């Protein structure tokens, strides 16, 4: 099942996984991005032909900053993916939206273990289920730290990775990461 996502070349495992798609979030951030693009382009056009004068004040700058943030979030929900690379001594986690990459490198000797994240709490009522769905969608943002299905326990903190994979794929990747950690520990002994 996982072979289509894994590339093995010179003892380097590379796993690329598209993020879990949330249609509501794609719609909301996509429409907001289109709206801001229209506003900015028409403002520039009107400034060029002389209809309006654009002042470079804090309000104008804040619109540009908001525009960049909305575009990045929309690109994350549409094109976002996570890439995991395991070498002999490193685990490299990359989140990308095709415009920007967030890359984190972890030495395998500093990773204590990799585990599946299991939901221990099952919501009972409609409102509890709705709150859980909202939390899940919030965690889909690229800057959210606890969004993945696999938990890496490091010496000083915990990191989660890969939210777009199935539970079966997550089990296979956990085995792969733990094997790499064991090999690294055997090398250092």
Which three-class secondary structure string do you get for 130-181? HHHHHHHHHCCCCCCCCCCCEEEEECCCEEEECCCCCHHHHHHHHHHHHHHH
Q: What is the pLDDT of residue 137?
A: 75
Distances (CA, A) of 35 to 7, 31, 47: 39, 6, 18
Q: What is the pLDDT of residue 144?
A: 64
Give the 3-state secondary structure of residue 116. strand
Tell me: do 113 and 41 sit in the same domain.
Answer: no
The parent domain of residue 109 ranges over: 6-19+80-188
Tell me: do 104 and 143 sit in the same domain.
Answer: yes
Residue 52 scores a pLDDT above 60: yes
Report the domain count for the chain: 2
Residue 119 scores a pLDDT above 80: no
Tell me: do 86 and 142 sit in the same domain.
Answer: yes
Q: What is the pLDDT of residue 189?
A: 67
Query: Predicted confidence band at 106 (pLDDT cuts at 50, 70, 90)?
Result: very high
Residue 166 scores a pLDDT above 90: no
Tell me: do 85 and 72 sit in the same domain.
Answer: no
Q: What is the pLDDT of residues 16-29, one digit of tens each?
A: 888 888 888 888 88
Highest mean pLDDT among 16-20, 81-85, 166-170: 81-85
Tell me: do 33 and 124 sit in the same domain.
Answer: no
Tell me: do 31 and 122 sit in the same domain.
Answer: no
Kindly state whether residue 149 falls inside one of the protein's structural domains.
yes
Tell me: do 128 and 170 sit in the same domain.
Answer: yes
Kindly state whether residue 47 falls inside one of the protein's structural domains.
yes
Q: Mark which of 41, 59, 77 sits at the end of a domain.
A: 77
More confident residue, 134 or 91: 91
Cβ atoms of 21 and 33 closer than 8 Å: no
Tell me: do 96 and 171 sit in the same domain.
Answer: yes
Exposed, middle or buried: residue 117 (CB in 10 Å: 0-12, 13-18, 19+)?
Answer: middle
Tell me: do 109 and 42 sit in the same domain.
Answer: no
Cβ atoms of 142 and 20 closer than 8 Å: no
Q: What is the pLDDT of residue 61?
A: 83
Tell me: do 110 and 52 sit in the same domain.
Answer: no
Outline where DSSP puts E strands in 49-89. 81-86
Tell me: do 123 and 97 sit in the same domain.
Answer: yes
More confident residue, 87 or 142: 87
CATH of the domain at 169: 2.30.29.30
User: Per-residue pLDDT averaged across 35-59, rounded?
Assistant: 82
Query: Predicted confidence band at 103 (pLDDT cuts at 50, 70, 90)?
Result: very high
Residue 4 scores a pLDDT above 70: no
Tell me: do 138 and 179 sit in the same domain.
Answer: yes
Kindly state whether residue 156 falls inside one of the protein's structural domains.
yes
Tokens of 102: 């967030």
Kindly state whether residue 1 falls inside one of the protein's structural domains.
no
- C-alpha 91/C-alpha 122 separation (Å) is 32
Cβ atoms of 165 and 172 closer than 8 Å: no
Alpha-helix residue ranges (DSSP H) falling in 50-87: 58-79
């Amino acid at each position: 099942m996982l072979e289509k996502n894994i590339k093995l070349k010179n003892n380097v495992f590379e796993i690329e996984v598209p993020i879990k798609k949330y249609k509501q979030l794609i719609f909301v951030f996509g429409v907001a991005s289109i709206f801001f693009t229209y506003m900015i382009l028409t403002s520039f056009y009107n400034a060029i032909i002389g209809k309006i004068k654009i002042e470079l004040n804090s309000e104008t700058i804040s619109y540009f900053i908001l525009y960049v943030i909305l575009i990045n979030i929309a690109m994350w929900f549409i094109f976002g993916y996570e890439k995991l690379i395991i070498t002999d001594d490193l685990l490299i986690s990359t989140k990308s939206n095709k415009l920007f990459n967030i890359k984190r490198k972890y030495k395998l000797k500093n990773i204590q273990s990799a585990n599946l994240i299991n939901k221990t709490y099952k919501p009972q009522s409609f409102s509890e289920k709705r709150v859980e769905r909202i939390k899940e969608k919030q965690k889909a943002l690229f800057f959210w730290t606890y969004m993945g299905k696999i938990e890496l326990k490091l010496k000083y903190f915990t990191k989660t990775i890969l939210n777009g994979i199935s539970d079966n794929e997550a089990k296979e990747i956990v085995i792969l990461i733990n094997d790499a950690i064991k090999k690294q520990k055997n090398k250092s002994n």
